Homo-oligomer: A and B are copies of this chain.
Amino acid sequence: MLVARSNPIELEKDRTQEVCFSSDGSILSAPVESFLQAVRSQLREQVLAFEPEIASFAEYALLNQGKQLRPTLVGCAGEADQGFEPGLVKVAVIIEMIHLATLVHDDIMDQAILRRNRPTLCEHSGNEVSVLLGDCLFSRALELASEFPTTDVCRLVSQATRNVCSGEILQTLRYKKRILNQEDYLRTIRLKTAELFALSCELGGSQIGLSSRHCDALRNFGFSLGTAYQIYDDCLDIFGDESEVGKSLGTDLQTGKCTLPILLLQEAMAPQEKETLLSKLFVWDESQRDWLMGLFARHQTLEACIRVIEQHLYDAERALELLKGDGHGLSLEPLLKFLSSQATRLGH
């Protein structure tokens, strides 16, 4: 897992205070920790922007933060370890709100009951309130975006939001239509995950006045890192160890989502074998797990997936080289290395 809860050594008792750790226990996000604290505090203040009756729902959605990956990217790209301006915090708040709004809507669609050890908003307050509260969060985020002097943040945030939601629609359609090609899978995860990672890095850089060349490199870095991260997360769902990861796994198989491991496996199989595989996958039953894991092992699917992750991380690294040469993006490097080491660990 890229980021873990700060347990047992909690820095503060507030449960929204979560700190990034690497697997060896060192704090990964320490350089931008005071920035992340400012982001959490601003998110908490956002609750006051809503009508009194709605504030409690907004609070429920906004203050159950998890990994804070996107704010961390904003902070690292915006060199918040060297100090930061309110605009950088606001960018992180906007992007995290958009992300949390998409989670509220995702949970309705997945009929999810729990998220981060707590009932989801739809379980807690019903689908009606959840659909509308997600909409309120989206619009509030765009309202904040309109407080910047130019329309750039509005434009980029609304585009990225549309891309994230479009990616989610494509994922739903892929599942319904049983589309099984890699190109389509990649397009989906780029829209639903990589776009917001890219935006986090790009806006982090533009807020501190980096050149458009550097902002483009940051965007490319975020895009490749986000793609790698989503593939890693999809692999984790199949190959991860539940007790180690700390969340329930195997949900993609249960819901029939065909992620990269399945796509690579079926490509490697003979036509008849492939047919058996697909017929079993589309009526998934946990008793088939050992048989499926055997197939993955025989075809070395996990190793092939890790190679794909490494390719995207390599692209991210190349974008980072350009930045590092000019003294930028230095605190992004540990994130890259950490994801790479986690992906490699999956294979052992």
Q: Is A166 an interface position by the 8 A CB rule?
A: yes
**8 A Cβ contacts from A154-183 to B:** 154-155, 158-159, 161-162, 165-166, 168-170, 172-173
Measured between alpha carbons, how far is A145 from B128 in the docked complex, in Å? 27
Q: Is A129 an interface position by the 8 A CB rule?
A: yes
A interface majority secondary structure: helix
Interface pair A158/B146, CB less than 8 Å apart: yes
Q: Given the known inter-chain contacts A151-B150, A154-B145, please indicate yes or no for A165 contacting B128, CB distance below 8 A.
A: no
Cβ–Cβ < 8 Å partners of A149 in chain B:
151
State the Cβ distance, A160 to closest chain B Cβ, in Å: 8
Closest residue of B by beta carbon distance from A135: B165
State the Cβ distance, A261 to closest chain B Cβ, in Å: 23
Measured between alpha carbons, how far is A159 from B145 in the docked complex, in Å? 11
Cβ–Cβ < 8 Å partners of A139 in chain B:
138, 158-159, 161-162, 165
Chain A residues with a Cβ under 8 A of chain B: 50-51, 53-54, 57, 102, 105, 108-109, 127-129, 131-136, 138-140, 142-143, 145-151, 154-155, 158-159, 161-162, 165-166, 168-170, 172-173, 191
21 of the cross-chain contacts (CB-CB < 8 Å) are A51-B191, A53-B169, A105-B132, A129-B169, A132-B165, A132-B172, A135-B135, A135-B138, A135-B161, A138-B139, A138-B161, A139-B165, A140-B158, A140-B162, A142-B142, A143-B159, A143-B162, A146-B151, A146-B154, A148-B151, A150-B151
